[in-house]
Structures are given as C-alpha cells and as structure tokens.
Structure 1
Amino acid sequence: MPDSFRYHIRPAKSSDIQQVTALAIEGLDSDDLFNYNFPHRKEFPDDCHLAWYRIFESWLYIPRTLSLIPGRLDLRVRSCSWLIAKLYPKSINRHSSPSHIANFRASLDVIEEKYWQTQYRESLHLRALATKPEFRQKGIATALIEWGLQRSRTTGLVAGVESSEMAKGLYSKLGFQTIGYEELRDEMDAVQVKTWVMVWGADVDREGGS
C-alpha cells in the first residue's frame, strides 16, 4: 500500500507545536545543516526550543503554508510544506552560530534568486521535514512528501526543496533531481556542508554550485 494511504496526514494545530518542536530538534540532531547553524544547542537547549517553537507557531498563520503531521502525533514526524515565500529563524540566541546563520541565509537568498524567482517561480516548496530516529524507515516521511507530490501532479506545478546531505538520498529516491548546490563555509573559509537544490516534476539542467 502506498505510504500516502498508510498514514492519515492532517494539518498541525497550535496544541501540537510544543511536541512538534521537541521532536523536530531531536529528529534533526544528525543533520549537517542543522549542526552547522546551531552548534551550541545542546549547551543551551532552552534557547533552541524557544526559538524553534516561535518559528513553528508562526508557520501556522502564514498564508499558503501548511504544516503537516501524521494523524497520530506519537509517530513523531513533522513537516511544513509547499510554498514560495520563505521564513528564516529570527530568534538567534546562544544555541546558534551567528556567522553560520548569516552564511546560510545568504545561500538561500542566492538559491531564491537563481531558481525560485526565475524558472521555478510557480512551484510548491517543501520547507522542513524531520523524523525522530526511532521512527525512521517506516514510510512516514515518504507519506508527508507524497502529500505535496500528489498536489504537484494535480496542479502541474514543480515541487522544490533545499536539502541537506542527510535527506538528499530520500528525495532522490522519490524522484527529485539535483539542479545545483550552495557551499557553506566556516570561519577559516573551509567548506563544511552543502545545501542541495532539488526539484520534482520538471525536465532540468543540472548545475554546479555558485
């Protein structure tokens, strides 16, 4: 049975945000982009939780943005999906690296101008996806992604995502194609991680990083 039918996907509610925040932080613990941006989160867990709680809560009220979770929240998955407008973390406190955050924002600005405001201006955009480690390999993340891909099929719009290295394999397996990347560097100008730009449902020309 397709994953999109195995799990009932519903919109998140304000009463879900506390648990969603905790599971997202845990689920992204091994993600390279998350570690790059928030290297001090384990020293200051309250700062990290509050910052991301505010972000997830704000996403509930942004037009054309939909936060999705499985019908049973104890399955520990959270996704926020399919938009053009972006929202970046504003509560940058002790858990984060300001210079890395600045680099990450700059890379997203480049991606926005290069891809989402040009050839893929009309698109569905996957904003964030996290799964707690003990609930992976059960098809839950695939079901959440497929929710958006089904709407891509219906509307004819391309689906897009900026992926970390950790998630890139899953997106590729589901048919996303890499069209470019942006490198994120540390204070010594050494490349630490890459943000991969991927699309689904389009004939694409693959490009390197800028």
Structure 2
Amino acid sequence: MSDNTEPKVHSLDDISIRPVTADDLDAIVEIVIKAFPYDEQFAYRYPYREQYPEEHYKYTRMYYAEYLNTTLAGQNTMMLATAPDLKNPKETKVISLSIWDNPGDRAPDPDIPAVAPPKNHPERKDCNPARLKAYSEATMKARKDIFVSRFGERQLSLRQMATLPDYWKRGAASKLLTWGMERARKEGVAIPMFAGNMGKLLYAKFGFKELGRVKIQAPGESEVIYEVAMAWDPRDESGEIGKGTAHD
C-alpha cells in the first residue's frame, strides 16, 4: 500500500472487545489525550493542556495508572475495543475505552494503595483547580439526587467512554455499549451516566433516557457547562424511567 492510498474502512466484524490488561496503559492514555478534548467537560476542566503538554501527559498517565489499579483489583471494569491499525492493518490497535462501576461495590478503601481511587491532582498546571472541584461536587450530588434516588446504590454506572478520533463512526463505542447493556440485563441493574453533547446522541439511539441536566460552574466564573444525566434500565419495559429535571 502506498502512502497515498486510503486505508480500508473497518466494518463491525473487524472490531473486537476485551477486558483491559496491565499492558494497556499506554493505549488508554493515547485515547484520553486524543479523544477527550472533544468533550466539553474535559476541555472545561483542563483548559491549559496545550500550554503544558508534558504536564498533561504526566498527570493523565498517573491518573489512569491509578484507575487501572482499581480495575485490576476488581473495583470496576474497563472494556476495550480493538481493530486493525489503520497505518499497519496487520497489527491490532486499541481504539476505544469504556469504564464501568461494578454493581454493588463500595467505594475503594483509600488506606489500601493497590485500590486507592484515582486522584484529581489539582496541582497540575494543565487544569483549572476550581473547575475540577466544581465538576466533582456537582456530579457527585447529581449521582445521589438523580441516579441513587431512582435506582438505588446497585448500578452499572458508565463512567467514561471514548474512541480515537481516526476510528469514529466505525462501531467501536456501539459494541462496548452493547456489552454493557447485556451485562445490565443479566444483573438486573440500570446503567446511569453523564453525557456531553456528542455522546448523548449515541446513547439516545440505544434507548437511554434523559433524566436531567447538571449545571457546572466554578465560583466567581461566568462560564457554565452542563452535563446530561441519562440512564437505561432493562427492568423498565415501558422505556420510561423518569421525567427530566434541571439541577442548577
């Protein structure tokens, strides 16, 4: 294949999903750094990532190394999608990431380093510390007010999902989401999550319902963003899991 030849577009049959392993950290970091800036909440919290790229890489890797520790300890589940590498189709590449809270698990014990939850590291230069705090506080409150009030503590919460931009619209996220929905059916639990403007279209296509909007605003700032609280519940045959509300 010459350098000017367009690579063949993958089909769904080319995409596989599997659990994360300890060797996947570099692939996870690549996805986060390349894909997450398209999400307004990530760009809002890390507005200086281009100004401090080394800092951004350092703390992103640190955060997801900590997240991977909790996963390998059984606290949550990371599922990855793989496909032939566009640059070298004979090689397999991790192209998409999803992170799920296991139903019924308690919060990790911070006194046990192996499963300590990942830290936000507000000292990192690529972030806005006030926005980190505002986002965390708003979403934590919304999880209780919107999700726990409807579904109880036992949920298969979708924490994060992202795909490398070069592999968008090839079905990777759909496969990961389908995996989660099948697991939710087996365990009889709902899938709650927060979506941005891009992601909510995919989730709505799969039957997720909007339950409310969560306002995020740091003290003293005029800039405001909203996350959309959505959920899918296999136990609700009617498909109606609640009316939307605004949490300002």
CA distance in 1 between counterparts of 2:62 and 2:19 reads 17
Match of 1:206 in 2: 244
Give 1 or 2 for the bigger CA radius of gyration: 2
Match of 1:74 in 2: 93
Quick one: structure 1 residues 88 and 190, their matched pair in 2 at CA, closer, same or farther if it must change by over 3 Å? farther
CA distance in 1 between counterparts of 2:97 and 2:192 reads 18
> Equivalent of 1:91, from 114, 121, 125?
121
Question: Unaligned stretches of 5+ in structure 2?
Answer: 1-10, 84-91, 109-116
Quick one: structure 1 residues 90 and 191, their matched pair in 2 at CA, closer, same or farther if it must change by over 3 Å? closer
**What is the count of residue pairs matched by the alignment?**
208
The TM-score normalised by the length of structure 1 is 0.88
- Conserved? CA contact 1:165–1:194, under 8 Å: no
C-alpha displacement at 1:129, in angstroms? 0.9
- Conserved? CA contact 1:177–1:199, under 8 Å: yes
2:138 is the counterpart of 1:107: yes
Q: Could you give the per-residue CA deviations for residues 29-88 of structure 1, whole angstroms, max 9, x where no partner exists? A: 221001100000111112222222222222233233111112446252111123465956
Letter in 1 for 2:210: T
Quick one: structure 1 residues 188 and 91, their matched pair in 2 at CA, closer, same or farther if it must change by over 3 Å? closer
CA distance in 2 between counterparts of 1:36 and 1:20 reads 21
CA distance in 2 between counterparts of 1:195 and 1:75 reads 27
CA distance in 2 between counterparts of 1:54 and 1:185 reads 26
- Conserved? CA contact 1:82–1:148, under 8 Å: no
Letter in 1 for 2:68: L
Letter in 2 for 1:43: Q
Name the SS of the counterpart of 1:76 in structure 2: strand
> Equivalent of 1:65, from 59, 68, 76?
76
The TM-score normalised by the length of structure 2 is 0.76
- Conserved? CA contact 1:51–1:89, under 8 Å: no
Name the SS of the counterpart of 1:42 in structure 2: coil
2:26 is the counterpart of 1:18: yes
Identity of aligned residues (%): 19
> Higher mean Cα deviation, 42-51 or 137-146?
42-51
Letter in 2 for 1:114: D
Question: Unaligned stretches of 5+ in structure 1?
Answer: none
Name the SS of the counterpart of 2:134 in structure 1: helix
- Conserved? CA contact 2:35–2:163, under 8 Å: yes
- Structure having greater relative contact order (Cα 8 Å, sep ≥ 6): 1
CA distance in 2 between counterparts of 1:184 and 1:119 reads 22
C-alpha displacement at 1:17, in angstroms? 0.5
Greater than 6 Å deviation, 4+ residue runs: none
RMSD: 2.3
C-alpha displacement at 1:116, in angstroms? 3.5
Match of 1:51 in 2: 59
C-alpha displacement at 1:119, in angstroms? 2.3
2:189 is the counterpart of 1:181: no
